[in-house]
Structure 1
Amino acid sequence: MNVLVWLGVILLVLMIWVGGKSGARSFISLFFNFGVVFFTMFFMLDPNANPILITFIACIVIGCVSLFYINEVNSKTVMAFISTMITISILLFFIVLISKKLMIQGFGEEEEEAIAGMSLYIGVDFIKIGASVIIMSTIGAIMDVAISIATTMHEVFKHAPSLSKKELFKSGVSIGRDILGTDTNTLFFAFFGGYLALLIWFKDLHYSIGDIVNSKIFSSEMILILCAGLGIALVIPIASWINAYYLVRAREKLNKV
């Protein structure tokens, strides 16, 4: 416990040193978002609840905390929030459809020993729960790209206010291309870092490549990475267009005045 406390203190000091008040709010937001995730899990235990709707509401709250609480309410955070919610809405429909087709819900045979003494008849829809997990895992990466594009495009427009909507959109997409590769690789290596022990276990059990690929645990995590990658790729043009539209519209209104 002492190690966790000291690591938390070191993280807080570094975040305040680098980010000042924004860094302190970022640290506090970690606990707020943890609380949102905890209460989301609590409400999902209700058999009459809709996990998809609960997850979408949770994403809205997480978006407000991560964007508005940390960076305050301004045009950049509002545009990033709108872009994130539009992307999540599109991705949510796609993920539910994919989850039903691939049947990756539930537990894999590798987890049978851990759940041997537990009842699986808990009255919840594992398909929707699985889709909710994927959505909750992707929102962070999507928000990161959305705010990065919004901030950069506002800076570009600040120094070149005569740019047209098309030119601003191209600038946003160009920025997004550089972010796309790094964020996708981050998700990929986060999976292998978190499941390295599982991959070693696969090796000890002499799993073939086909067995590994068809394993429910491996497949569900790969679907998570691919869906997160789709979300990152999708939010780039959405955020670019929304920011370009807003900036040009704001300039036109200012010129009329």
Structure 2
Amino acid sequence: MNVLVLLGGILFLLMTIIGGRKGVRSFFALFFNFAVIIITVILLCSPEINPVIVTLFACVVISCINLFYINGVNSKTKTAFLSTIICIVILLLFIIFVTNKSMIQGFGEEEIGELGAFSLLVEVDFVKIAVSVIIMSTIGAITDTAIAVSSPMREIHYHHPDISRKELFLSGLSIARDILGTSANTLFFAFFGGYLALLIWFKDLSYSVGDIVNSKIFSAEIITILCAGIGVTLVIPITTWITAYFFVRNKETKETV
């Protein structure tokens, strides 16, 4: 407990010194997001509630916290929020299809020993739970990419108010290409960092490459990473188009008035 408090204090101090007021809001946003996740998990345990609907609502709340609470309500956060919601809805349909076809819901063989003492008669649709897990795993990366694209586009439009919609859109795509590479690598290494012990276990069990790839645990995590990567990639053109459209549209509206 003392270590947790010490690390939390160091993080708060650094975020306050480097980020100022926005850093303080970012620190408290961590706890707000944690509270949303805990409430979501509690609601997912209820068989009367649709897990996908609850997860979508949680994603909206998390997006509001990450965008509006930290960065304020302005043009860049509004376009980033709209882009995030559109991307999540499109990605949801794809995730439902992939989850049903891949059959990754439930627990893998490697987890049976840990669950032996518990009852498996759970009145929860694990297909929908798997969909909810993937969506919750992607929301952070999608909102981060959306604001990372809309923010510099706002600066470009501010310093070059006469820029056309097409030029602003192409500039946003150029910026996003640099962000895409680092975001994809972050998702990739986050998996291997969190599941390094699992991979070592696979090696000790003399799993072949085919056994590892077909393992439910490994497949579920890889599918989550790929869906997150698809979401990060998909949100880029959506954000650039929406941002370019609204910024140039606002300029044209002011000129008309």
Q: Tell me by how many angstroms 1:23 deviates.
A: 0.4
Question: Residue in 2 aligned with 1:213?
Answer: 213
The answer as to 2:97 corresponding to 1:97 is yes
- 2:161 counterpart SS class: coil
Question: Residue in 1 aligned with 2:170?
Answer: 170
Question: One-letter code of the match for 1:7?
Answer: L
TM-score, normalising length from structure 1? 0.99
Q: Tell me by how many angstroms 1:96 deviates.
A: 0.8
Question: Residue in 2 aligned with 1:230?
Answer: 230
Moved more, 160-169 or 15-24: 160-169
Question: One-letter code of the match for 2:89?
Answer: S
Question: Residue in 2 aligned with 1:42?
Answer: 42
d(CA) in 1 for partners of 2:56 and 2:213? 30
* Runs of 4+ deviating beyond 2 Å: none
The answer as to 2:211 corresponding to 1:187 is no
Q: Flag structure 1 segments of 5+ consecutive residues without an equivalent.
A: none
Q: Residues 149-160 of structure 1 correspond to what in structure 2 (within 5 A)?
A: 149-160=149-160
Q: Tell me by how many angstroms 1:173 deviates.
A: 1.1
Residue deviations 1:70-120, cap 9 Å, x none?
111111111110000000000011101110000000000000111011112
Q: Tell me by how many angstroms 1:172 deviates.
A: 1.0
Question: One-letter code of the match for 2:203?
Answer: K
Moved more, 113-122 or 212-221: 113-122
Q: Flag structure 2 segments of 5+ consecutive residues without an equivalent.
A: none
Q: Tell me by how many angstroms 1:160 deviates.
A: 1.3
Give the superposed CA RMSD: 0.6
- 1:124 counterpart SS class: coil
Residue deviations 1:36-82, cap 9 Å, x none?
00000111111111000000000000011111111111111111100
Percent sequence identity over matched residues? 61
Question: One-letter code of the match for 1:11?
Answer: L
- 1:20 counterpart SS class: helix
- 1:106 counterpart SS class: coil
Residue deviations 1:132-169, cap 9 Å, x none?
00000100000011001110100111111111111111
Question: One-letter code of the match for 2:148?
Answer: S
Question: One-letter code of the match for 1:199?
Answer: L
Question: Residue in 1 aligned with 2:51?
Answer: 51
d(CA) in 1 for partners of 2:165 and 2:119? 57
Q: Tell me by how many angstroms 1:35 deviates.
A: 0.5
